[in-house]
Structure 1
């Protein structure tokens, strides 16, 4: 599916899309949060780009760990530790492998999600990025077990993540600053769920 160079290219593509959507993501966050999610994410992926372009990465794991460290150091608020942990965990899941398969990507997504849930103490239904990531993982698992192609499996994951984002509109936020709004948070997508969806969609578009 991908070697270190391909993973690097995918991450750079993700960074480009985050940059293009930073104001959109920030507007979503302004409605229920601090109003800086998109700007912070763009800053983090900008730092990741600098790190990836400055040195050679031998394995996909090296790429993911470098991205994770950049996100932790440069992204403010809750998103930095959460996304940073996700990427670091994803890298650990494929440590030592020069090429990763679709099954490896499932392991990476699962490890990343586990890291987010542990770090943020979040579960499905709390209006967070978990509401996009967990359905995506379940859809990916189902597609792989059904023998779907890489394209079909990734598309299924993205579709499930998109439905997860829509689901966040219908529920009350119980985590972070958005939780202060109570029922007024209903009707708004969670910006973290949306950025997770954007990242997964961009990854899928590269294959």
Structure 2
């Protein structure tokens, strides 16, 4: 197999100033932007997954994106924490292997991190992301270097933990940068989980599809905040 030559990443839009806090309306826009971005890259996700997996990861992420958009469009009176928690439950019910339960758990963690909140500053965005990571660690034994979505997720948390800022834009940008760094690093790892594990060193040189999906999640939240 040839080394994957696809360029995967995101544009830094830090030159545009945004309002400091995330209101319900802005979070809705961020989630819809993220859902649309995920749908734009479902073929890429399936192509990456086809190298050593079932090749259907993009199909499942497409369903998750549809779920995010549907639930966001129907968001009424729930506070942010309750909405994200309930969104996670809906995502868990998406058919298509482990991605639904994993993404659903992450979003439920997001909700727990901002319980009863109706507006988010930078510290609360950190709390949201960190709570999501903690919740994911309760169901996944994967860590950095195992070539899974956790590589991107854990580095997103590491990056936001290193910045001393209450600025929402800087927190979201740090999370996106961390997720991208974690995703790119998976090219240098041998798969240790799932069907890809059986391919051993053949998985070197290719990113993990789950990590790429996480990168697009955080890319979407950041860029969705900036537009």
Aligned partners of 1:128 and 1:140: how far apart in 2?
Answer: 20
Give per-residue Cα distances to partners, 1:131-185, cap 9 Å, x unaligned.
1111111111212x2x374323322322222121111011111111111211111
1:191-202 → structure 2 map (5 Å cutoff): 191-202=209-220
Q: Work out whether 1:166 is the aligned partner of 2:187.
A: no
TM-score by length of 1: 0.92
Q: Identify the residue that residue 175 of structure 1 maps to in structure 2.
A: 193
Q: SS of 1:67's equivalent?
A: helix
Other-structure match for 1:129: 149
More helix by share: 1
Matched, 1:14 2:31: no
* Structure 2 counterpart of 1:40, from 45, 49, 60: 60
Which residue of structure 1 lines up, in the alignment, with residue 171 of structure 2?
A: 153
- Paired residue for 1:81? 101
Give the alignment's Cα RMSD to 1 decimal.
1.6
1:35-80 alpha-carbon deviations (Å, 9 max, x no partner)? 1111111112212322332341431113312321221111421111
User: Is structure 2 residue 224 aligned with structure 1 residue 206?
Assistant: yes
Distance 1:154 1:51, change over 3 A: closer
Mind listing any 5+ residue stretches in structure 1 that lack a counterpart? none
Secondary structure of the corresponding residue to residue 191 of structure 2: coil
The TM-score with structure 2 as length reference comes to 0.84
- 1:94 pairs with 2:114: yes
Q: Cα gap change, 1:52/1:127 in structure 2, threshold over 3 Å: closer, same or farther? A: same
